[in-house]
Amino acid sequence: MNAFDKDNSGKISVEEFFKGLQGDMKRKRKVLVRMAYNTLDSDGSGEVTVADIRGAYDCTQHPKVMDGR
């Protein structure tokens, strides 16, 4: 969150998200990044909050979680 949320608003704007990825991106990569962002920004507000991330990412099936680490 800290790497992307440069204005410390507790939210990640689409601009902060793209800047956080840095570098020139080919069109195909931009499309994939936009798809990922839209998945995180489930309410379409243009900002990704910690709550949005919690809602989009389920780590319960991650091998380290399943192993109790």
Q: What is the pLDDT of residue 64?
A: 92
pLDDT along the chain (69 residues), means of 10: 87 86 80 90 89 86 91
Contacts of 14 (CB under 8 A, 6+ apart): 37, 41, 46, 47
Name the 3-class secondary structure at 8: coil
What residues does each domain of the chain span? 11-66
For the chain, the first-to-last Cα distance in angstroms comes to 22
Kindly report the backbone phi and psi dihedral angles of residue 61, in degrees, each rounded to the nearest multiple of 5, phi listed first. Answer: -100, 5
